[in-house]
């Protein structure tokens, strides 16, 4: 009879990642003053181990080392051990990831960092095999005892590095606020040299979707009409939608592809990827009217609603890559399983999804993926295209039926404000592109949920679970929520969303803004103080909170006729402009903002009883450099005060730089005004 496992302190946490470690023999603490106080009292070094629920190698290290009694004893004897969910505490993660890179080491998760009792880092690493880990623990314990002063000196140097300004580090902040065509073209060129012109994306594996890269390219195409930019977007979006990174049966995207062909994904599905990809495919559909993009949007939203939506209307964080101890087992099939499931249709199915007897993944299993459009497949198999489409619908149902009987991947059911905001924005973009009222209902439900449960007394919280929001909001929460609410206003003309966005923006200016550098800190000045207060400048898979805030201020400046907002947006972009030109793949959301600065952003106001219908008609055209305002009856918005429906007819006002064109009564006339201005601002492609 085995002894019952004893729970550690993590049993009281809400994060699924921390709860996964609640029965480890390691005496884990959550991040907080209690652990640091104990380290000071007992004169011990601190181990901070950071990961997240959908992280494959985090699970491996837990199983190999943190569940091992002998290793746990060493950890407990010599260290105060802290477990951190990086998704709950991106501030802690950012500080210690930066420290690891300052040590000259490659970053990644699990992230294991050793600190002195003042929380200052002196050594770290990522995944370690059990033997390596045990040796490292013993060496560090010994060094801490014998060479404490040396380690403390190293730690002080790392803290100095962590507190150095990024503007200073990269020689930025001196470039002023002028925005010109040549720099914009250079951004495109410097991104384009990395294009994989055969398989889409950028030129090396692993391949991440990186939605903001392609949103920038769509804006570049809109400005220049350079077909090469659009071709690369289309190539990438098609290859991703046909690849294994996309769940061919159930919809939704996996985190990234380990190979250059988008075939073999790391199978976890993250809310933040799917929210942004819904926005990207919706925008791309507006440009191209490609049916594949519409299908991807509808299937991805269906996946999120089915598998990531809480009963209250919030969205959960992610699905694990593994089930039954195997990565991708839930999503993959052997040829024999498919023969049993599909019978006589299996050979045709296997041609469509490129299934082989030996498999294209581990253990003879197959990842479903496509390599040609339905029209070509239909012709090659002497079928009508609509017959193929009906067959595919039936196949998807059967695959989903088979998957319903399998053990599901683990669900990370914490709800994060910033990631929900990305999904909210995706739903609003999808509604704008396709006019499907179900998407709008989901968006409004989510917006109400976030403002009810993750906002209190003007402040936003980062997390929510089981009725509780416990962690102060970070800049990413405010910035992404503001962006989503601005979009929700544009697709509904309901001013409550716009007023919420302004209130949140004003809160960030009071609590996050650094007046010296004219950029925003990642953490609230009323929140817990860490050893460094960081700013987020680089756009990663999720755009940097500063680039999102600069974009928000651009649009808020227009909507509220507020020069302070507009001027600050210009200054923020001006500070990083030189780096955006050189490294657009790491600052592509900044580059997309640059597109809004080159020529005046159109303010399109629609006034009158048919305002919603006219907005829907306008949405059939891709016009990224505009902001939409509207009213059916009355409005408190300054920009709408002097705009009325003329002769009782719904009226459109197209304005630039505080100057309005002649009021018109049809979308066609408004488009003519917009396109005339577009032609004036148009410049040749490279």
Query: Can you tell me the distance from the alpha carbon of 457 to that of 437, in angstroms, rounded to the nearest whole number?
Result: 32
- Binned at pLDDT 50, 70 and 90, residue 635 comes out as confident
- Binned at pLDDT 50, 70 and 90, residue 511 comes out as very high
Q: Which two tokens stand for residue 519?
A: 């950029």
Q: Per-residue pLDDT averaged across 576-591, rounded?
A: 96
Query: Can you tell me the distance from the alpha carbon of 231 to that of 493, in angstroms, rounded to the nearest whole number?
Result: 34
- Does pLDDT of 127 surpass 50? yes
pLDDT digits (tens, 9 = 90+) for 421-474: 999 999 999 999 999 999 999 999 999 999 999 999 999 999 999 999 999 999
pLDDT digits (tens, 9 = 90+) for 348-359: 999 999 999 999
- Tell the burial category of 386 from Cβ atoms under 10 Å away from its Cβ (0-12, 13-18, 19+): exposed
Handedness of CA 488, 489, 493, 494 (dihedral sign): positive
Which has more confidence, 175 or 186? 186
Query: Can you tell me the distance from the alpha carbon of 175 to that of 31, in angstroms, rounded to the nearest whole number?
Result: 40
Query: Can you tell me the distance from the alpha carbon of 554 to that of 558, in angstroms, rounded to the nearest whole number?
Result: 7
Q: Per-residue pLDDT averaged across 30-51, rounded?
A: 96
Cβ-based neighbours of 268, under 8 Å, separated by 6 or more: 54, 55, 56, 254, 255, 318, 319, 320, 321, 409
Q: Per-residue pLDDT averaged across 11-40, rounded?
A: 96
Quick one: pLDDT at residue 622?
A: 96
- Does pLDDT of 592 surpass 50? yes
Query: Can you tell me the distance from the alpha carbon of 623 to that of 193, in angstroms, rounded to the nearest whole number?
Result: 27
- Answer whether 250's CB lies under 8 Å from 243's CB: no
Quick one: pLDDT at residue 44?
A: 95
Q: Report the run of H or E that residue 463 belongs to, with start and end.
A: strand 463-464
Instruction: Examine domains 9-163 and 602-681 and report if their fold is the same.
Output: yes
Q: What is the CA radius of gyration of the chain?
A: 26
Residue in 511, 417, 507 with CA at minimum distance from that of residue 462: 417
- Does pLDDT of 276 surpass 50? yes
Q: Per-residue pLDDT averaged across 601-618, rounded?
A: 96
Partners of residue 520 on adjacent β-strands: 513
Q: How far apart are the first and last CA of the chain?
A: 74
Cβ-based neighbours of 44, under 8 Å, separated by 6 or more: 38, 78, 79, 80, 117, 144
- Does pLDDT of 678 surpass 80? no
- Answer whether 355's CB lies under 8 Å from 333's CB: yes
Question: How many CA atoms are closer than 13 Å to the CA of 679, on its beta-carbon side?
Answer: 5
Cβ-based neighbours of 506, under 8 Å, separated by 6 or more: none
The DSSP line for 277-290 is HHHHHHHHHHHH--
Quick one: pLDDT at residue 176?
A: 66
Q: Looking at 256-265, 278-287, 632-641, 674-683, which range is the least confident one? A: 674-683
Q: Per-residue pLDDT averaged across 673-682, rounded?
A: 71
Q: Per-residue pLDDT averaged across 227-246, rounded?
A: 98
Q: Per-residue pLDDT averaged across 153-178, rounded?
A: 88
Residue in 340, 242, 377 with CA at minimum distance from that of residue 296: 242
Superfamily of domain 9-163: Glutaredoxin (3.40.30.10)
Q: Per-residue pLDDT averaged across 371-394, rounded?
A: 96
DSSP state of 119: S
- Does pLDDT of 177 surpass 90? no
Cβ-based neighbours of 214, under 8 Å, separated by 6 or more: 233, 236, 237, 280, 284
Q: Which two tokens stand for residue 182?
A: 């040549």
Partners of residue 114 on adjacent β-strands: 47, 123
Quick one: pLDDT at residue 55?
A: 87
Average pLDDT, the chain: 95
What percent of the chain lies above the pLDDT cut of 70?
98
Query: Can you tell me the distance from the alpha carbon of 321 to that of 297, in angstroms, rounded to the nearest whole number?
Result: 22
**CATH 1.50.10.10 is the classification of domain 181-325+412-598:** yes
Give the other-Cβ count within 10 Å of 151's Cβ: 21
Number of alpha helices (DSSP H) and beta strands (DSSP E) in the chain: 26, 22
- Residue 339's alpha-carbon distances to 124, 344, 357, in angstroms, are 49, 8, 11
- Does pLDDT of 677 surpass 70? no
Q: Per-residue pLDDT averaged across 585-605, rounded?
A: 96
Query: Can you tell me the distance from the alpha carbon of 267 to that of 55, in angstroms, rounded to the nearest whole number?
Result: 10
- Does pLDDT of 685 surpass 50? no
Report the Cα 266 to chain-centroid distance in Å.
Answer: 16
- Binned at pLDDT 50, 70 and 90, residue 175 comes out as low
Report the Cα 294 to chain-centroid distance in Å.
Answer: 20
- Does pLDDT of 293 surpass 60? yes
Q: Which two tokens stand for residue 394?
A: 């039936």
- Answer whether 143's CB lies under 8 Å from 135's CB: no
Quick one: pLDDT at residue 641?
A: 86
The DSSP line for 406-451 is SPPPPEE--EEHHHHHHHHHHHHHHHHHH--HHHHHHHHHHHHHHH
Residues recorded for the chain: 686
Could you list the beta-strand ranges (E) of 461-566: 463-464, 513-514, 519-520
- Binned at pLDDT 50, 70 and 90, residue 675 comes out as confident
Residue in 118, 104, 153, 106 with CA at minimum distance from that of residue 48: 118
pLDDT digits (tens, 9 = 90+) for 536-571: 999 999 999 999 999 999 999 999 999 999 999 999
- Answer whether 335's CB lies under 8 Å from 349's CB: no
Q: Which two tokens stand for residue 165?
A: 């300004």
Question: Quick one: fold of 602-681?
Answer: Glutaredoxin (3.40.30)
Taking each helix axis from N to C end, the angle separating 291-307 and 417-434, rounded to the nearest 10 degrees, works out to: 140
- Binned at pLDDT 50, 70 and 90, residue 679 comes out as low
pLDDT digits (tens, 9 = 90+) for 299-339: 999 999 999 999 999 999 999 998 998 999 999 999 999 99
Quick one: pLDDT at residue 160?
A: 95
Q: Report the run of H or E that residue 626 belongs to, with start and end.
A: strand 626-631
pTM (2 d.p.): 0.95
Burial 590-625 (b: 16+ CB within 10 A, else e): bbbbbbbbbbbbbbbbbbbebbeebbebbbeebbbb
Q: Looking at 284-288, 476-480, 639-643, which range is the least confident one? A: 639-643
Quick one: pLDDT at residue 137?
A: 97
What percent of the chain lies above the pLDDT cut of 90?
92
Query: Can you tell me the distance from the alpha carbon of 578 to that of 574, in angstroms, rounded to the nearest whole number?
Result: 8
Quick one: pLDDT at residue 634?
A: 83
Quick one: pLDDT at residue 325?
A: 87
Kindly list the domain boundaries of the chain, sorted by start residue.
9-163, 181-325+412-598, 331-405, 602-681
- Does pLDDT of 3 surpass 60? no
Query: Can you tell me the distance from the alpha carbon of 548 to that of 550, in angstroms, rounded to the nearest whole number?
Result: 5
Query: Can you tell me the distance from the alpha carbon of 611 to that of 588, in angstroms, rounded to the nearest whole number?
Result: 33
Residue in 416, 308, 424 with CA at minimum distance from that of residue 85: 416
Instruction: Return phi, psi of residue 282, to 5°.
Output: -65, -45
- Does pLDDT of 686 surpass 60? no
Query: Can you tell me the distance from the alpha carbon of 111 to that of 21, in angstroms, rounded to the nearest whole number?
Result: 15
- Binned at pLDDT 50, 70 and 90, residue 198 comes out as very high
- Does pLDDT of 683 surpass 50? no
Quick one: pLDDT at residue 2?
A: 44
- Does pLDDT of 684 surpass 50? no
């Amino acid at each position: 009879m085995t002894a019952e496992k004893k729970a550690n302190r993590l049993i009281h946490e809400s994060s699924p990642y921390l709860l996964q470690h609640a029965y480890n023999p390691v005496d884990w603490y959550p991040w907080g003053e209690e652990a640091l106080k104990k380290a000071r009292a007992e004169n011990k070094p601190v181990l901070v181990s950071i990961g997240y629920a959908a992280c494959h190698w985090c699970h491996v290290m837990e199983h190999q080392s943190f569940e091992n009694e002998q290793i746990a004893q060493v950890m407990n004897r010599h260290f105060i051990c802290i477990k951190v969910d990086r998704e709950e505490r991106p501030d802690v993660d950012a500080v210690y990831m930066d420290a690891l890179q300052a040590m000259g080491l490659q970053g990644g998760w699990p992230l294991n960092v050793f600190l002195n009792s003042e929380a200052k880092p002196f050594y770290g690493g990522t995944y370690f095999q059990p033997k390596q880990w045990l040796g490292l623990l013993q060496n560090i314990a010994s060094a801490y005892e014998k060479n404490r002063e040396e380690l403390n000196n190293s730690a002080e140097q790392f803290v100095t590095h962590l507190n150095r300004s990024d503007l200073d580090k990269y020689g930025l902040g001196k470039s002023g606020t002028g925005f010109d065509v040549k720099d914009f073209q250079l951004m495109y060129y410097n991104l384009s040299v990395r294009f994989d012109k055969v398989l889409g994306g950028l030129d090396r594996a692993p391949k991440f979707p990186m939605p903001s890269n392609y949103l920038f390219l769509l804006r570049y195409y809109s400005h220049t009409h350079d077909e090469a930019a659009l071709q690369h977007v289309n190539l990438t979006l098609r290859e991703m939608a046909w690849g294994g990174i996309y769940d061919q049966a159930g919809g939704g995207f996996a985190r990234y592809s380990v190979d250059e062909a988008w075939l073999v994904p790391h199978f976890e599905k993250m809310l933040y990827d799917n929210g942004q990809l819904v926005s990207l495919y919706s925008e791309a559909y507006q440009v191209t009217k490609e049916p594949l993009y519409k299908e991807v949007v509808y299937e991805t939203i269906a996946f999120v609603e089915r598998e990531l939506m809480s009963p209250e209307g919030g969205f959960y964080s992610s699905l694990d890559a593994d089930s039954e101890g195997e990565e991708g087992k839930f999503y993959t099939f052997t040829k024999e399983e498919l023969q049993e499931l599909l019978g006589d249709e299996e050979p045709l199915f296997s041609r469509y999804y490129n299934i082989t007897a030996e498999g294209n993944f581990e253990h003879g299993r197959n990842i479903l993926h496509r390599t040609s459009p339905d029209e070509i497949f239909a012709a090659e198999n002497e079928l009508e295209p609509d017959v193929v489409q009906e067959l595919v619908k039936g196949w998807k149902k059967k695959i989903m039926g088979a998957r319903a009987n399998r053990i599901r991947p683990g669900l990370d059911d914490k709800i994060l404000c910033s990631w929900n905001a990305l999904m909210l924005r995706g739903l609003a973009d999808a509604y704008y592109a396709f006019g499907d009222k179900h998407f709008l209902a989901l968006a409004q439900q989510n917006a109400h949920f976030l403002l009810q449960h993750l906002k209190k007394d003007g402040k936003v919280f980062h997390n929510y679970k089981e009725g509780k929001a416990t962690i102060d909001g970070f800049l990413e929460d405010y910035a992404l929520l503001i962006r989503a609410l601005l979009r929700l206003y544009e697709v509904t003309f309901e001013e409550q969303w716009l007023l919420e966005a302004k209130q949140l923006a004003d809160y960030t200016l009071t609590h996050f803004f650094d007046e010296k550098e004219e950029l925003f800190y990642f953490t609230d000045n009323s929140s817990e103080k860490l050893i460094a207060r960081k700013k987020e400048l680089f756009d990663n898979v999720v755009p940097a909170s500063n680039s999102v805030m600069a974009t928000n201020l651009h649009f808020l400046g227009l909507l509220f006729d507020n020069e302070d907002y507009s001027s600050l947006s210009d200054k923020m972009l001006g500070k990083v402009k030189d780096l955006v030109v050189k490294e657009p793949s790491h600052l592509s959301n900044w580059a997309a903002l640059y597109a809004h600065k080159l020529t005046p952003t159109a303010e399109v106001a629609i006034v009158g009883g048919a305002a919603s219908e006219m907005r829907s008609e306008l949405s059939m055209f891709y016009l990224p450099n505009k902001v939409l305002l509207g009213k059916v009856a009355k409005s408190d918005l300054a920009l709408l005060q002097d705009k009325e429906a003329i002769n009782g007819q719904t009226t459109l006002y197209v304005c630039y730089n505080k100057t309005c064109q002649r009021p018109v009564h049809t979308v066609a006339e408004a488009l003519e005004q917009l396109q005339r201005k577009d032609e004036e601002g148009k410049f040749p492609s490279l």
